[in-house]
Chain A
Amino acid sequence: QKEVEQNSGPLSVPEGAIASLNCTYSDRGSQSFFWYRQYSGKSPELIMSIYSNGDKEDGRFTAQLNKASQYVSLLIRDSQPSDSATYLCAVGPSGGSNYKLTFGKGTLLTVNP
Chain B
Amino acid sequence: NAGVTQTPKFQVLKTGQSMTLQCAQDMNHNSMYWYRQDPGMGLRLIYYSASEGTTDKGEVPNGYNVSRLNKREFSLRLESAAPSQTSVYFCASSGRRGGSTDTQYFGPGTRLTVL
Residues of A contacting B: mostly: loop
Partner pick for A97 among B50, B103, B104, B105, CB 8 A cutoff:
B50
Q: How many residues of A contact B (CB 8 A)?
A: 23
* A104/B42 in contact, CB under 8 A: yes
B45: nearest chain-A partner, CB-CB: A100
B106 part of interface (Cβ distance < 8 Å): yes
* B103/A43 in contact, CB under 8 A: no
Q: How far is the CA of A7 from the CA of B42 in the complex (A)?
A: 12
A46: nearest chain-B partner, CB-CB: B103
A25 part of interface (Cβ distance < 8 Å): no
* B107/A49 in contact, CB under 8 A: no
B108: nearest chain-A partner, CB-CB: A43
Q: How far is the CA of A46 from the CA of B64 in the complex (A)?
A: 27
Which residue of B31, B33, B42, B101 has the most chain A CB atoms within 10 A of its CB atom? B42
* A51/B109 in contact, CB under 8 A: no
Q: How far is the CA of A103 from the CA of B43 in the complex (A)?
A: 6
Residues of B20-70 whose CB lies within 8 A of A: 31, 33, 40-43, 45, 48, 50, 58
